[in-house]
Structure 1
Amino acid sequence: MLLKLAVLLLTLQQCTGYFNFYLEKPEVLTLMGLQAQLFYVTDGQINEYAMKFVVPVPAHVPELHFTWQNLIGNPLSYEIEVEVNDPSVLSETMNITSSGKIPAGPPQTWAMTFHCAPYDAETDVMIRVNVFATPKNKTVLEFKRRKICLVNKTLELENKRQEVLVAASGTNAGGQVFYAAIGCACAFVAAICVLVVAYYVRDKKSRRHRDPLQESRGLSSACSVERGTGVGPAQTFLSPETPPPPSTASVSTYRRLDERPTRELYERIHEMTVERCRVRLLSIEMEGTFGRVYKGSYHEEGTTTPRDVLVKTAAEHASVSQVTVLLKESMNFYRLSHPTVLTVLGVSIEERGAPFVLYPYTGYRNMKKFLLRCKMSSEGPSRALTTQEVVEMALQAAKGAQYLHRKKFIHRDIAARNYVVDENLRVQITDNALARDLFPQDYHCLGDNENRPIKWLAIESLLSDSFSSASDVWAFGVLLWELTTLAQQPYVEVDPFEMASYLRDGYRLAQPINCPDELFAVMAYCWAMSPDERPTFSQLIMCLQDFHAQLTQYV
């Protein structure tokens, strides 16, 4: 019996341990608006979290593409079943058979085409893929999709299909037509390239004439710089031997981000600008798809010793909109002064390098990564946070948010990822610049092409995009839950598309294990359905201080 069980477990491991199943970047971009691959199975490890999502398929998308890869030498058997909730609305075809073998070798992509009825409707589709190691042992993958059908888009897609069929089945000159079409396409692409180059050259020349800060750019050359062997391509470093001489002008070209900035925004950027040559990058602390966080040093004018800084910057391939978001989200923290707020020292948007944002650094690290390290430390046993330490961190977090509200600023993204903490458990709130890129698992797009922290948002923010100090309080309750669970993902079992109805029905996060009732009561107060019934940060601070006093009585 034990031998049979061992054989069963071995064959099951062979089935799930030797194939990949994922969506390529173009498919993820089409369906979710994200520039990334989405793995459902990685080296046999099934991503149960991703499998739970019901992914909407827009009306203009007629096909789904899946990629799989057999990592063993022998072919793996498969069967594909499709269940359409309303067959009168939708039918489907595939470019592979419903059963067969997954051949070993490089990844292969197959497609499923949807055929909509000629009227507006939507229906759920379940795509079930069974992968067999043996006839009795199989891995079941279920992909949930919601296909939207609109009559105008259906007719448009069908017309395109007919044009393709006519072109393909025309006459014996089909091959000639094909090569002629390829030649026309190449000529068209070449013409577009010529026009783009000409426009770029003309725009470059005209921008030099119309930019009022063009003359001031030359003054930055007074800084003593050298090419280092540092991090990333062509990074400029400050010469460590000699401090740079004072300069009379800053270097900024905000027009490359927005050709028509408001006067107030332009003056704000100009005021915040620091000279790039005074910043030295030392090492990468965090990295996302288009953004990076460096540890570095900043040699302020009039000082002889550089100070440690953190530098948030965009990669070379970042788009203009991504760079603009980075700058706008960080500007709100400029010139703030509070022990629990990580302020912004300045920005650089010089034309000869990627824009970056500068922050003071005194040994802080990202709170979410700190909590995860406390839970699963590869360097030894986990660092267990006591209830007293959790409450002390929560108090500092609340004081930072309270300070922002007194400055009439709504954060909109309070979460562990947007706080920093040092080894002495001193906490500071930060802006949310690059948070979507560095923590993509915390943000979701609900079909509106905007990634939002769905699991942290208040009910009114989900339903009507309404934000206030009360919605920040709701998010702070989720932050408390993160502190007590060491950065577990909230509502991990809930589909992001179902969050609004889930909250509206009265469901909330469960009380974490080992979380005192007094602390969970504070969380629950934050999640009141009506914003008026939620406490203010001043009231939260009083509650946390009272609970902290009770804890310290017995220490």
Structure 2
Amino acid sequence: MEIVFRSPANPKILIYVVTLLNVCFGSFNFYIDTNEVQRLLGLNAELFYVRNGVINEQASNFILSVPYKHNVFYFTWESLEEKPLNYKVKVDSPEQVVLEKPVLNISATGLMPKGSQMFSVDIPCSGKQSGQSDILVSVTITLPSNNITNINIHRRKTCIETDVKANNILSDSESVNPGPAKMFYFAISCAVGFLFFFLVFLTSFYIRRKKFKKVSDNNIDQSQSTFLHSSRNPTAISSYGSFRRAPSYSLLEDRPKDIQERISDLTIQRCRVCLKSVLLEGTFGRVYQGTYTKDNGSVESVLIKTVTDHASQIQISLLLQEGMSMYSINHKNILSILGVSFEENTAPFLLYPFRDFKNLKIFLQKCKLCSEGVAHTLTTQEIVDMALQITGAMLYLHKRHLLHKDLAARNCVVDEKLKIQITDNALSRDLFPADYHCLGDNENRPIKWLAIESLISKTFSPQSDVWSFGVLLWELTSLAQQPYVEIDPFEMAAYLKDGYRLTQPINCPDELFAVIAYCWAMNPEDRPTFLQLKVCLSEFYSQLTQYV
């Protein structure tokens, strides 16, 4: 009897729904316990390959992708028979360049334990090059009736070149099971270090307070600060000011000093901008197609974001703030702002280069079947190619220490050649109101695109962008269906905590959905980086092109 584990299926269905069961002629358990499933998949469940002598056929369709930092796999087994069961364990890894030689912590042959015990397979990355390698763990069990059961378990390990450095610092096994002595000394070191930094903080706070008080008194007397001049009116502090004062609004908190220089560099005379047709329109926001006349007299097609006359000052400032998030970005897959136009008593214009592209979400929705037929039939190869373009853009943003925080199909554009560009999220709340919800905090957020930590504690990181990228991939494969359409926004946090995720779209390959589900790990550290996603998607794209 043989169990062969091939392509991945939906992890949620795999763990919670056991179907198509066959009974083997012997009683034993072979499974992954709750801690290991939580570590690899972020789910609170057990994954059984054989349970009480019953084989889980559903598990035969699952290849478990393993993050690069996890070098050890753990399995739990136990014999339920009175007579001992003989076993043989073998680990094969065909790609020796990416991985080191695998090591078992048990003998290759022996007797299966009668009590529940765990054994491990250590497969560290070599650190020589980045890539993925398939690992086969073969377990042969000899039953009392002399029947032989072969269990072949596949893992797909991701490695990067820096792994060898990480392994020298801390091995996977040490991070899972640290010794009590190390934990004691580590706690003592943390306590001493905290006390030291606390004393330094108190000292520096006292010194700074004295200096700040002295400088503040001098500044108030001399009235030299332009910000102090504007703060004499208490209402001016809490308001956003007029259109003319908008450039003084600090859009990037880490570099407020040169924000006026940035706006001045982007300022374009209104007489050079010509509005032509409305591309998108919301309650207070509009997106136009237009032209911009350069200094040399040449005319360039532009995309123009603006607001209507009845828009509030807060909405205008939000337009400027979100529009400036892509300032000074130069990447072929990022639509960065071209200029800003201000004029008295009119709404500001945000100008972007225009190459006859469409909003990606609207484009995907038009790819669905309709009475007129299909606007465009997307192939898996085209979808993966678009995903690779987005990963390249996100890699560029993260290298510049910038987070998108609202990565979705609505914030991307696509041209006729399926070239993708990521945009800022200016006006997205108004143009796509169904994608944003308020949870009682007076802030519209893309609830169903947010990572679990961003949803609960408003914490954003490169890992939270990876989660949103997973939802964006799901949009690509489902032709822009609404994610979690049946879930109330107020229940999303509890829904995700319980381990539920989006289901696999129709016609989405198992290999691609495995990458998508990998982005939704509960622990942010267990999610892949965009570099790893690029490696996985590139390999899958190469496999697709071999059959074209």
2 CA distance for matches of 1:462 and 1:448? 12
- 1:501 aligns to 2:491 (yes or no): no
2:376 aligned residue: 383
Aligned with residue 542 of structure 1, among 525, 535, 544: 535
1:354 aligned residue: 347
Moved more, 262-271 or 447-456: 262-271
CA-CA distance at 1:337 after TM superposition = 0.9
2 CA distance for matches of 1:351 and 1:379? 46
2 CA distance for matches of 1:278 and 1:406? 35
Conservation of the 8 A alpha-carbon contact between 2:247 and 2:263: no
Q: CA RMSD in A?
A: 2.0
Distance 1:498 1:267, change over 3 A: same
Q: TM-score, normalised by structure 1?
A: 0.53
Which residue identity lines up with residue 414 of structure 1 in the other structure? Answer: L
- Structure 2 unaligned residues grouped into runs of 5+: 1-228, 231-241
Distance 1:376 1:358, change over 3 A: farther
Q: TM-score, normalised by structure 2?
A: 0.54
Which residue identity lines up with residue 324 of structure 1 in the other structure? Answer: S
Post-superposition, which runs of at least 4 consecutive aligned residues in structure 1 deviate over 6 A?
A: 257-261
1 CA distance for matches of 2:369 and 2:349? 32
- 1:395 aligns to 2:388 (yes or no): yes
1:427 aligned residue: 420
- 1:278 aligns to 2:278 (yes or no): no
- 1:460 aligns to 2:450 (yes or no): no
1 CA distance for matches of 2:248 and 2:495? 40
CA-CA distance at 1:254 after TM superposition = 3.7
Conservation of the 8 A alpha-carbon contact between 1:374 and 1:486: yes
2 CA distance for matches of 1:399 and 1:254? 37
Conservation of the 8 A alpha-carbon contact between 1:335 and 1:345: no
Which residue identity lines up with residue 269 of structure 2 in the other structure? Answer: E
Moved more, 261-270 or 431-440: 261-270
Which residue identity lines up with residue 368 of structure 1 in the other structure? Answer: K
Conservation of the 8 A alpha-carbon contact between 2:269 and 2:342: no
Conservation of the 8 A alpha-carbon contact between 2:303 and 2:353: yes
2 CA distance for matches of 1:285 and 1:524? 34
2:326 is paired with a residue of what secondary structure? coil
Distance 1:498 1:260, change over 3 A: closer
Conservation of the 8 A alpha-carbon contact between 1:334 and 1:346: no
2 CA distance for matches of 1:319 and 1:379? 41
1:445 aligned residue: 438
Distance 1:385 1:280, change over 3 A: same
- 1:321 aligns to 2:283 (yes or no): no
- 1:481 aligns to 2:474 (yes or no): yes
2 CA distance for matches of 1:468 and 1:296? 36
Aligned with residue 258 of structure 2, among 264, 268, 286: 264
Provide, for residues 200-249 of structure 1, a one-character-per-residue CA deviation record: whole Å limited to 9, x for no partner.
xxxxxxxxxx99xxxxxxxxxxxxxxxxxxxxxxxxxxxxxxxxxxxxxx
1 CA distance for matches of 2:469 and 2:408? 7
Which residue identity lines up with residue 455 of structure 1 in the other structure? Answer: K
- Structure 1 unaligned residues grouped into runs of 5+: 1-209, 212-251
Conservation of the 8 A alpha-carbon contact between 1:273 and 1:346: yes
1 CA distance for matches of 2:244 and 2:465? 31
Moved more, 397-406 or 425-434: 397-406
CA-CA distance at 1:255 after TM superposition = 1.3
1:118 aligned residue: none
CA-CA distance at 1:259 after TM superposition = 7.9
Distance 1:300 1:539, change over 3 A: same
**Could you say which structure has the greater relative contact order, defined with CA pairs below 8 angstroms and 6 or more residues apart?**
2
1:300 aligned residue: 294
CA-CA distance at 1:350 after TM superposition = 2.1
5 Å-filtered alignment, 1:106-121, equals none
Distance 1:296 1:382, change over 3 A: closer
Conservation of the 8 A alpha-carbon contact between 1:340 and 1:429: yes
CA-CA distance at 1:266 after TM superposition = 2.6
2 CA distance for matches of 1:378 and 1:432? 32
Distance 1:363 1:530, change over 3 A: same
Provide, for residues 299-336 of structure 1, a one-character-per-residue CA deviation record: whole Å limited to 9, x for no partner.
0112x320100000011000000010111111121221
- In the comparison of the two structures, how many residue pairs are matched? 306
Conservation of the 8 A alpha-carbon contact between 1:342 and 1:430: yes
Distance 1:382 1:363, change over 3 A: closer
Which residue identity lines up with residue 348 of structure 2 in the other structure? Answer: P
5 Å-filtered alignment, 1:96-495, equals 254-255=244-245, 263-302=257-296, 304-377=297-370, 379-495=372-488
CA-CA distance at 1:407 after TM superposition = 1.2
Which residue identity lines up with residue 287 of structure 2 in the other structure? Answer: V
Which residue identity lines up with residue 519 of structure 2 in the other structure? Answer: C
Aligned with residue 517 of structure 1, among 510, 513, 526: 510
1 CA distance for matches of 2:542 and 2:258? 46
CA-CA distance at 1:278 after TM superposition = 0.4
Which residue identity lines up with residue 494 of structure 2 in the other structure? Answer: S
Which residue identity lines up with residue 405 of structure 1 in the other structure? Answer: H
Provide, for residues 427-473 of structure 1, a one-character-per-residue CA deviation record: whole Å limited to 9, x for no partner.
01000000000000000000000000000000000111000000000
Conservation of the 8 A alpha-carbon contact between 1:257 and 1:320: no
2:301 is paired with a residue of what secondary structure? strand
Percent sequence identity is: 61
1 CA distance for matches of 2:492 and 2:348? 36
